[in-house]
């Protein structure tokens, strides 16, 4: 398992509450995108569509 997979598993393993509508996500749904200089993990609320981004520089 790569470092990126471990970080995604850590994000997916925690409940996430949408700041806009209060929807509670019990885990999962984070997508990773990389530019080579940074990695972004994105989560979109299935209820209202608000997007949350966590960015890590490499």
What is the CATH code for 3-57? 2.20.25
Q: Do 51 and 44 meet the contact criterion of CB atoms below 8 Å apart?
A: yes
Domain coordinates of the chain in residue numbers?
Answer: 3-57
Query: In a structure prediction context, what are the per-residue pLDDT tens digits for the chain, which is 58 residues long?
Result: 888 888 888 888 777 889 899 999 887 788 888 888 999 999 999 999 999 999 999 8
pTM attached to this predicted model: 0.71
Looking at residue 21, its pLDDT comes to 96
**Per-residue confidence (pLDDT) for residue 50, from 0 to 100:** 94
Question: For residues 14-32, b (16+ Cβ closer than 10 Å) or e, as one string?
Answer: eebebeeeeeebeeeebee
CB 18 within 8 A of CB 30: no
* Per-residue pLDDT, 20: 94
Sign of the four-CA dihedral 17, 18, 22, 26: negative
First to last CA, the chain: 18
User: Tokens in use for 33?
Assistant: 């995108």
């Amino acid at each position: 398992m790569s470092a990126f997979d471990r970080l995604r598993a850590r994000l997916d393993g925690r409940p996430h509450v949408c700041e806009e509508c209060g929807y509670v996500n019990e885990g999962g749904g984070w997508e990773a995108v990389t530019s080579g200089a940074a990695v972004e993990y994105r989560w979109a609320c299935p209820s209202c569509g608000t997007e949350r981004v966590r960015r890590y520089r490499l």
